[in-house]
Amino acid sequence: MNKSRIRLGDLSVGLVLPLISALQAREIDPAPLLLRFGLDPTFMTKAQAQLSIPRYMRLGHAALQCAKDPAFGLEIGRFSHPAQLGLVGITALQAPTIREAARLLIDHERLYVSSYRGHSQFEEASGGAWLNFYSISPYNNFNRFMVDQVLAGWVTQLSHIAGRPLKPTKVTIEYPMPDGAERYVSTFGCPVEFAASRNAVHFNAATLNEAVAPHYPITWHQLLELCQTELQRATSLHSVRERVVFLLGPLLKDGEPSLEDIAKRLQLPAWTLRRKLAEEGTRYLDILNETRRELAISYVRETDLTFNEISYVLGFSSAAAFQRAFKRWTNLSPGIFRRTWRNQGEIITL
């Protein structure tokens, strides 16, 4: 896409820390695994250091294999701590209530995770609230653990903030019930529904209304202002074209969104969006086609999704249609493209 390519997303290296702790708790040395994925000690201590989500999925899958535990993502989540999220986590520790802490972690997620697949949402509901993790379907061995880690991680992080173990009232997970599902119930301490419509954790109002101690209002507001400033900086750097691309990623699997659909999400009149894109020298249809092309290349290059799965994610009518389009874009079939890329040894350092 122009001279830059779309990345499927990036996350803070702070999210690798609970994985390291979970391996160490199993008496597994994480150092060889980290070096294999280019995560040397110097990189791990850099401010603002990030790694791509596909790279982290491969790291997590390798950790699951080392632990010989398909539900190891739950263990990773249990070693989460708000401070691992940087400024956002430190601020959450000063929130006045569990509700405000949870809302902050979700609303400012962009400061520690950026994904073209979507973003998490805090949703007030009767009797409490849901913490929703965006869909990363279709699911496979490389991404199911991320759902486990995030949902278990939210519960653990909020428990640290509360100063006591918290139990959600319900957990819902999109992928089908795995073997050993009772482990999920024991981990969360509540009913767990699989093959659900969303990945989410529900807390009741009594839990959310709990006061956090110690809470210092001046410190809380100062830190909150810093978070809001950083979030504004992170989102305002995008051109209109980049904002459109960011919205398109998670929408493509449901078909081709219209310019009017995107304009509504940007809270702009359609004619205004069309004009702003023209001022940047582009058109919506061009962005749509380029986004699908670049995401297709990224999925083939950076993930282990099957071509049927990529076809679904990008809204193609069939896998054959996707493969024809891919060959038209790159002069290579997706299979040859993937093998060539990985033979060059570049997949680990994406």
Q: Which domains does the chain have, with CATH numbers?
A: 72-234 (no CATH), 238-349 (1.10.10.60)
What pLDDT, on a 0 to 100 scale, did the predictor assign at position 348?
A: 36
What pLDDT, on a 0 to 100 scale, did the predictor assign at position 3?
A: 39
What pLDDT, on a 0 to 100 scale, did the predictor assign at position 103?
A: 98
What pLDDT, on a 0 to 100 scale, did the predictor assign at position 226?
A: 97
**What's the rounded Cα separation, in Å, for the pair 146 and 117?**
13
**What's the rounded Cα separation, in Å, for the pair 130 and 123?**
5
What pLDDT, on a 0 to 100 scale, did the predictor assign at position 48?
A: 81
The residues of the chain scoring below 70 in pLDDT are 1-7, 237, 344-350
pLDDT tens-digit map of 83-106: 999 999 999 999 999 999 999 999
**Which residues are CB-neighbours of 195 under 8 A, at least 6 positions away?**
173, 174, 175, 176, 177
What pLDDT, on a 0 to 100 scale, did the predictor assign at position 84?
A: 96
What pLDDT, on a 0 to 100 scale, did the predictor assign at position 41?
A: 86
Q: Are 237 and 131 in contact (CB under 8 A)?
A: no
